[in-house]
A and B are shown apart, each in its own frame.
Chain A
Amino acid sequence: MANVTLRNVRKIYPGGFEAIKGIDVEVGDGQFCVLVGPSGCGKSTLLRMVAGLETVSSGEIDIGGRIVNAIEPADRDIAMVFQNYALYPHMSVYNNMAYGLRNRRVPENEIKTRVEDAARILELGTMLQRKPRQLSGGQRQRVAMGRAIVRQPKVFLFDEPLSNLDAKLRIAMRVEIRKLQRRLNTTAIYVTHDQLEAMTLADILVVMNGGRVEQIGNPLEIYQKPATTFVASFIGAPPMNLMPIDAVRAQLHGADAVPAEAGQLGIRPEDFELGDTVPTGGIGLDLRVDAIEHVGAETYVYGARQEVGQNDSLTATANDVIVRLPGTAAPDIGTRIRAVAPRSRLHLFSADGRQRLAV
């Protein structure tokens, strides 16, 4: 049980490349923190720095009140689950889990109890004598989890542990990881590029981009109030529609009330509905239906924004606007629809997208 605090952590590689550009994160005891971002954003590097597999160029990493910058991975009291599981291929499942305990000279009878407990929780009881190569992907994943939990560490570190599993198993394991973490009440840091995984697992969500933190907070709060256009388009699927405010000034009711520094307007696909009347202060967009995706419960319409040009003809603009409709709705391709959204559902950002503004 421990807090994990990162203070102005940086990582500069010998070539001069700055992978982590000063990050501050505080994870409370027993909390589940998810680092999410696109590939190359530095999230795995950051996790490996917490694990002690990468050196820290500057700043401090604090685990349970102890600065661990100069402490070996083995002595940080952490356990890590790797993306490729990193099981010891020549050892049985039992020995894979027992290895870390034997290295720490835990008595053999206690090792047995702990491994068997873990095997029961993870439903690996019948496979203890098998070698990793005789297991399926999901079972290997469980062994990797088991190896982490038998150690009873202060912190669990997960490096994209589910990305090698198929979609169905991934969802099942996601739920199990969350349950297990709640039950053990161990602090966890989890890296993923999957925003859905991030949303569903996190107590604290850290959205990263280009070695920087874009936003930290509770997942729903981040979803509802993204701090930057990057977060707005990264969190949520399909992503938030972003458009230059000048392009839609004519369609925006009460455009005068918009702050002068606002440059971009965002609306989530699910905040639109079809209708003729624009709510007070809201927006109404005329769209030409270009493509439709039926996903069952809902339908996504990809529409091209129409602008009233000279002599009242409509010209399509380049940017697609995605509108979520109920599964039963199915406008024909090529037809015109009007999507409206109320003022409270609009997001305003500065022109460079780095700052969120009050609507």
Chain B
Amino acid sequence: MDMKIAIPLFGTRISPRFDFSPEIRIITVENGKVVRRENFPVAHLNLIQRLDQLASCGVDKVICGGIDEFCLNQLGSKGIEVIQNIAGEAEIASDLFMKGRLRPGFCCDRRRQRGFCAWRRGAGGRRS
């Protein structure tokens, strides 16, 4: 399974807003394994340029926090699937996604006391 996943970032966390993320991580998956992780600054791009960049990078899926209807429709029209309302650490979210366990609305925070990743269905949401 080859694909490219984009995660709008806010530090190491998933950006709460798709349209205001200062950075985007693009994860390349080949034969079901992550082969590359690259971060791109996007603060200087306007919304349309951000959307265009995702399409020109060949992104298939976007894992993000909040996203408005306009962006959702635009990504849909470019054939990009969106898993929205995800909060927490980007690393945990991408791991859960690769295991096929990420669902819209998950909160991917680390439980420090127990030392392992945990999620809870926090914010609700839908897959588009």
Asked if A and B bind, the verdict is no
